[in-house]
Chain A
């Protein structure tokens, strides 16, 4: 029987279909302001016996009449399960998504030990990068590569996204190279993130998941800040934004088995 993992985040929706422990289908779409329509379009042609929903929209999925039962788990558990499945040796997970950053420690069994989550403010999340990339008129997907062109990052102190923009603008006015400002903005996230990781007791290997894990500059800075070596003690899935949906699907499989 096919089991679906559905992750409705603030920026994107991911669906992973599993059958007998194997991923048979992966789909993704932006959340937009109509997540239900986006989800229904994503589910088109997919049949399942059970779905597990996670992310901010998990309750939304449960309230839809999809023709099969829908269980929910939090994105913290989902990312823990997904990350552990992909990299069983990993001991700490970092998920930087659209509006949330989460750090969690994994017990050797793969269960979540301690976790931390950013509160209220979107500082240090994908939203922060999206917002600041606009100052440079660069698409957010190219922002990391652009920032890697910097070599002397100024320290950006503002934790607030809007004030960070003000700070970046005033640095521009002082004649600081834009690539360096971009690097400085990335560095401010990497520092915050490293702090959050230390609060859950960072043990390597570290698994970096969520959409921001696509960003090459964040990967490099995170490696520098934590001492984790990419490919050895810092693992990044090929499709980091699918981890939550994968974890949800895995949970569905375990429910089915029990």
Chain B
């Protein structure tokens, strides 16, 4: 379908059509430069190219069709919001736009200037009427994973149907009790919104659906670890990003097909980068579409990214929900247990993240770790210091970078990344 065909839909969503056209133009060019220019891409990536080209088109049409059938659309910003519950009430859960410099000036009327780019971006997208996902939502679910976000949601709730889950900051027994209470409160809200009940049968099915997607992504992560790396880190990042808004069943099937192709490629000894290309792991803040700047800088400097220790990466896929629960209560407990394993930097203490980062770096046989923090993201900037100490002690070279979505520091980033690669090889 052409963009023209979607115009009416976008108008109905009250998007700023002219600004939105501009955004799609920039996104398309950016995608072309960063993705289509790669050599030796897998056929399976065509699916992702298609999904990305239709990111504001066909997928939004699907959401509108789902709405017409009475299904509700739930928007989220964080891996803490349990998708299983949304699926169990036949709702559709999608990640929202938060990865580009859009509507920054407008956002700065609601949140302070020294707020991380991700928060400014989701607010900017809303105020500038640029995100068809946000505009399609019946409910937007926030979470208290940092001060910036929790305060931003207060301001955002004046502009969108906002619901906030309280994510605890420790992993004590009382924190787990709080989290369970929050999961139940959220479940009740979903039931009220949709008029449907979460049953054991529906939740069991939802748990299987989401686990299947996690398994496909785990498989992808195992395969990409081969030497030479069979797929670029940029492509895997894109896959992780797409996992937040594509239909989970279709997505899982497509990724498994892609993994089959990866296996063939590994058997044939083919890679996207030379065997001796430096292997880099990215660690830290999430990267929402189209935040591809740093991965692009790293891979165009001759390295290959073989792992993302991030919410848009292994933090979202490492742990499965136990599928053995029989009753609704058992399943809810299993869900709570699974989500409390997330090693988000919002937790104190958060020693398991240090272990996970170190284990991952060693398992993937990386030559170095590049820690990525969004400017003004306190939790990851703090942990960056600890992670660096741990990695240094373990003999793994690492470097920390702080940046945002702008392009003004790209030459500086290139110099730092290239210099880092020079030191590890």
Assembly CA distance A114 to B416 (angstroms): 11
The stretch from B281-289, B338-346, B407-415 touching chain A is B407-415
A114: B residues at CB distance < 8 A: 423
Assembly CA distance A75 to B415 (angstroms): 8
B422: A residues at CB distance < 8 A: 73-74, 76-77, 112
Number of contact residues on B: which range applies?
Answer: 10 to 19
Assembly CA distance A116 to B422 (angstroms): 14
Contact of A74 among B402, B409, B415 (CB under 8 A): B415
B409: A residues at CB distance < 8 A: 119-120
A120: B residues at CB distance < 8 A: 408-409, 412
Cβ proximity bits B369-396 to A, threshold 8 Å, 1 near / 0 not: 0000000000000000000000000000
B418 within 8 A of A: yes
Contact of B419 among A56, A77, A119 (CB under 8 A): A77
B418: A residues at CB distance < 8 A: 74
Inter-chain contact total with CB atoms closer than 8 Å: 34
| Inter-subunit contact B419/A112 (CB<8 Å) | yes
A111: B residues at CB distance < 8 A: 423
| Inter-subunit contact A117/B412 (CB<8 Å) | yes
B409 nearest in chain A by CB position = A120
| Inter-subunit contact A56/B423 (CB<8 Å) | no
Chain B stretch 58-82: residues in CB contact (< 8 A) with chain A: none
A113 within 8 A of B: yes
Assembly CA distance A114 to B423 (angstroms): 8
Assembly CA distance A246 to B338 (angstroms): 56
Give the interface centre of B411, B412, B419, B422 by most chain A CB atoms within 10 Å: B419
Contact of B411 among A56, A73, A77 (CB under 8 A): A56
Cβ proximity bits A98-135 to B, threshold 8 Å, 1 near / 0 not: 00000000000001111101011000000000000000
Minimum Cβ distance to chain B for residue A249 (Å): 17
B412: A residues at CB distance < 8 A: 117, 119-120
B417 nearest in chain A by CB position = A74
Chain A stretch 114-160: residues in CB contact (< 8 A) with chain B: 114-115, 117, 119-120
Minimum Cβ distance to chain A for residue B357 (Å): 18
A120 nearest in chain B by CB position = B409
A115: B residues at CB distance < 8 A: 419-420, 423
Assembly CA distance A114 to B409 (angstroms): 21
Minimum Cβ distance to chain A for residue B20 (Å): 30
B411: A residues at CB distance < 8 A: 56
B419: A residues at CB distance < 8 A: 74-77, 112, 115, 117
Assembly CA distance A115 to B423 (angstroms): 9
Contact of A117 among B408, B416, B423 (CB under 8 A): B416
Minimum Cβ distance to chain A for residue B366 (Å): 17
Assembly CA distance A117 to B420 (angstroms): 12
A111 nearest in chain B by CB position = B423
Minimum Cβ distance to chain B for residue A32 (Å): 18
A112: B residues at CB distance < 8 A: 419, 422-423
B408: A residues at CB distance < 8 A: 120
Assembly CA distance A120 to B408 (angstroms): 8
Minimum Cβ distance to chain B for residue A248 (Å): 13
Minimum Cβ distance to chain B for residue A201 (Å): 10
Minimum Cβ distance to chain A for residue B374 (Å): 14
Interface residues of A (CB under 8 A from B): 56, 73-77, 111-115, 117, 119-120
Q: A-B pairs with the 9 shortest C-beta distances? A: A76-B419, A74-B419, A77-B422, A74-B418, A112-B423, A74-B415, A120-B409, A115-B419, A117-B416
With A74-B422, A117-B416, A119-B402 known, 4 other A-B pairs at CB within 8 A are A76-B415, A112-B419, A120-B409, A120-B412
